[in-house]
Structure 1
Amino acid sequence: MKRKELQKNEIGDFYWRYINLIPEDASLIETLEKNTAEICHFLLSLPQEKWEYRYENEKWSILEVIQHIIDTERVFQYRALSIARGEEKPLPGFDHDQYVKASEAGTRKGAELVEEFRTLRKAAIWMYRNFNEKMLSRQGTVNGNPASPRAIAFVMAGHALHHKNIINERYL
């Protein structure tokens, strides 16, 4: 399935800012695989002294940004699985600031966080490989918005790219 096949009603408007970072001709599994390699390579290339850097006092460190990506991936994967399996109840949102605050990401090593992201994303790829078209296209409700597992996959990749771009623009 290609990104250009997504319909506007498959995900809330807010999430299109992430999806639009992915080329229209990109296929779902290939996008997740290439995105994983790109994000991991980028993060591992960062200078060690930058991991705890904040571009403003109240902003997240790079370690916290990576932990945020990981936490969000877990939430997205749960949402995709729930909808693919036919969950009819609306799924809640989450407070990403609270998650980062509680994560204690500053006590972790950057390479460890990157490996956790890589492992988590591999699990997502396996999950998506085993969803058929019916599962991928199911509609659910997430944080009051429509969502399909296939749209969530492209959101995951775009969300990671979004944070890569922020690190490039504000941290380096």
Structure 2
Amino acid sequence: MEIVQLSNNEFHTYYKGYIERALNKPLLQGLAEGMLETHEFFDAIPEAKQEYRYKEGKWTPKEILLHLIDTERVFAYRALQFARAKNVEIRGFDQDEFVENSNANERTMQHLLEEYLAVRTAQIILFSSFSEQTLQHTGIASNSPLSVRAAGYIICGHEKHHIAIVNERYL
């Protein structure tokens, strides 16, 4: 896979910032490098900061990591649906409800990181199985168009976005 330019009809404008953070390299490279960077970043968070909230109602670093895992699963499922079927429409998900019911803070950071690595490894394999043509397939997610490749780039950029927030507000 090469570096691509996505057209604006491949994703909702909400995701533009995530995609811009990730389009500087081929998708599979971004997924692989992101896996290493994200693992190293969260693994280095001191235990005293892993359940820290910089403000009432904000997520902890553990919750953010599990949010990344959950969101990756959601976008990979969307990509798989759009790659394999036609005329697919998938409803959105409530990220706050997912985090609220995640029990992330009851788990160790190591366990969360093991899950992250397993999920990311699966996505690298999944996206590597798609042809260039399949990567351009689209469907509807959360009432907006989404291409298979845009879903992959959103995964990459989304984690960069949250790492920046954790760096800025938590550490």
Question: Partner residue of 2:107?
Answer: 108
Structure 1: gaps (5+ residues): none
Displacement, 1:2?
A: 3.6
Pair 1:20-2:15 in alignment: no
Question: Partner residue of 1:123?
Answer: 122
Distance in 2 (CA, whole Å) between partners of 1:4 and 1:132 is 14
* 3-state SS of 1:146 partner: strand
* TM-score scaled by length of structure 1: 0.96
Runs of 4+ aligned structure 1 residues displaced above 3 Å come to: 1-4
* 3-state SS of 1:122 partner: helix
Distance in 2 (CA, whole Å) between partners of 1:140 and 1:89 is 5
Kindly, what percent of the aligned residue pairs are identical?
39
Determine if contact 2:23/2:153 at 8 Å carries over to the other structure: no
* 3-state SS of 2:42 partner: helix
Distance in 1 (CA, whole Å) between partners of 2:4 and 2:26 is 9
Number of residue equivalences: 171
User: Aligned ranges for residues 61-140 of structure 1 at < 5 Å?
Assistant: 61-140=60-139
- After superposing the two structures, state which structure 1 stretch, 106-115 or 15-24, moved more: 15-24
Distance in 2 (CA, whole Å) between partners of 1:155 and 1:3 is 14
Displacement, 1:89?
A: 2.8
Pair 1:6-2:20 in alignment: no
Displacement, 1:63?
A: 0.9
Question: Partner residue of 2:141?
Answer: 142
Structure 2: gaps (5+ residues): none
Determine if contact 1:86/1:138 at 8 Å carries over to the other structure: no
Indicate the RMSD between aligned Cα atoms, in angstroms. Answer: 1.1
Determine if contact 2:81/2:88 at 8 Å carries over to the other structure: no
* 3-state SS of 2:54 partner: coil
Distance in 2 (CA, whole Å) between partners of 1:122 and 1:89 is 25
Question: Partner residue of 2:168?
Answer: 169
**1:3–1:152 Cα change, 3 Å:** farther
Q: Which amino acid counterpart does residue 100 of structure 1 have in structure 2?
A: V
Q: Which amino acid counterpart does residue 17 of structure 1 have in structure 2?
A: G
Q: Which amino acid counterpart does residue 164 of structure 2 have in structure 1?
A: N
